[in-house]
Amino acid sequence: MDPALNAALNQPGWEKTFAMAVLHADTTIRKFIWRGFRPRSTGKNEITVGDKSAADFVQEAVKRLITGKRGYDVGKTLLENLNSITDSLIWSGKKQSDTTGIVDYAQIEDEHGEPSDPIATATSFELTPEEKVKHTELLEDQRRCFRQIRDSFDGDAAMQEYLDALAEGIFKRAEISEVTGLEPTVIDELRRKMIKHARKLFGVSDFEELQRRLKEGGL
Amino acid sequence: MKHNEQGPMENLLDGISEHAEALTFDQLRDEAAARGIDLNAALATVNELIAARTREERLGWMKVADKRRESLRVAEKEARYHWRSKSPHDIAAAFESFLNSAPPETALAFRNKGTLSTSDMIEILEANERLKRPSGAND
């Protein structure tokens, strides 16, 4: 086992790193829902790709690192290493189990010879008219759902500013704080409130279910 | 929307995921549970995976050590007995050669020992070879 990897796995924060990697993997799978992918559910809100859950993907990533099948990049943190591998594995798993008929991408392999996520890595090229229509529809789905969530926080200006920043792709707390004027501690509190209030966001297996739940109970 | 650009819901999910850094392990576990993930079970599985690999690597070194020790034993055995198959003439010649090539103090040690038997010469030649072998090779 790589000595740097061994040291990282023996750090006191290993459990938290693993937890964050699992949540990252789960988020990655759920993000594909917004690209038209329909993952399976285990019946407990947990979603799977090709019979593998987020935890399964992270376990596989750890296995590949400790057996040397994937090299440990000492220039990155353990979490970044794990996230990079799970992203590839999830994309590969999704590709194999994909029956949604969403846009078919040419398979791209990373430096380790494994399929990489073209959503994250592809360079821009012209889409066919049919693909453009599909992407426009998917984007409109996202905007509509985001508006519903945002509207549910009417009267809470701080929360709406936080949501707007995230929707614009501003993820770093320091940057959100800079553009919104919100203190980082307030941002943490908003996140907690958002998660607590919008647990259903993570409890759906597809967009239709999310819409239904939004209509039934609101967020 | 370009095909490689994320929409607002994807960004929302990414942002929430990134901000998980500020949470404690217990909070992360609760959040995972809300998503249907049993984090404790997953952690136990992966820790066992790591422990098994560590054990395997440790045993791997033991296997290498055992293999090396065995090869040294074989070499030792060969060195110990190969003189015994030689003729007395060859042994006497080898002993003479040993005395000639040995440091002066070694040659001096045998000068007044009288006539050595063939088996004495074998013992001395074998002992000399053991001495020349790297430290630990006689174990």
Pick among A9, A14, A30, A31 to test the B interface (most B CBs inside 10 A)? A31
pLDDT digits 0-9 by tens, A4-36: 999 999 988 999 999 999 999 998 888 887 777
Q: Which of A67, A100, A121 is the last residue of a domain?
A: A121
Same-domain pairing of A109 and A145:
no
Residue A181 and residue A115 in contact, taking contact as beta carbons nearer than 8 Å: no
Same-domain pairing of A73 and A141:
no
Same-domain pairing of A72 and A164:
no
Residue B75 and residue B105 in contact, taking contact as beta carbons nearer than 8 Å: no
Q: Which of A121, A156, A178 is the last residue of a domain?
A: A121
Structural domain total, chain A: 2
Q: Which of A100, A121, A142 is the last residue of a domain?
A: A121
pTM of the complete model beyond 0.80? no
**Which residues have CB under 8 Å from A1's CB, separation 6+?**
A66, A68, B53, B54, B57
pLDDT digits 0-9 by tens, B22-73: 888 998 998 888 888 899 999 999 999 999 998 888 887 778 888 888 887 7
Same-domain pairing of A17 and A117:
yes
Tokens of A32: 């594909």
- Residues of B numbered 65-104 whose beta carbons fall under 8 angstroms of chain A's beta carbons: which are they? none
- Reported ipTM exceeds the 0.85 cut: no
Same-domain pairing of A37 and A117:
yes
B58 in reach of chain A (CB within 8 A): no
Nearest to A26 among B1, B25, B35 (CB): B35
Residue A92 and residue A114 in contact, taking contact as beta carbons nearer than 8 Å: yes
> What is the CB neighbour count within 10 angstroms for residue B65?
10
Q: What per-residue confidence (pLDDT) applies to B135?
A: 53
**Which residues have CB under 8 Å from A86's CB, separation 6+?**
A21, A24, A25, A28, A54, A57, A58, A60, A61
* DSSP symbol at A205: S
**Dihedrals phi, psi of B88, to nearest 5 degrees:** -55, -35
How far, in whole angstroms, is CA A132 from its chain's centroid?
23
Residue A190 and residue A162 in contact, taking contact as beta carbons nearer than 8 Å: yes
Pick among B12, B53, B61 to test the A interface (most A CBs inside 10 A)? B12
Same-domain pairing of A95 and A199:
no
Higher pLDDT, A199 or B102: B102
Answer yes or no: do A44 and B36 touch at CB < 8 A: yes
Domain that holds residue A199: 129-217
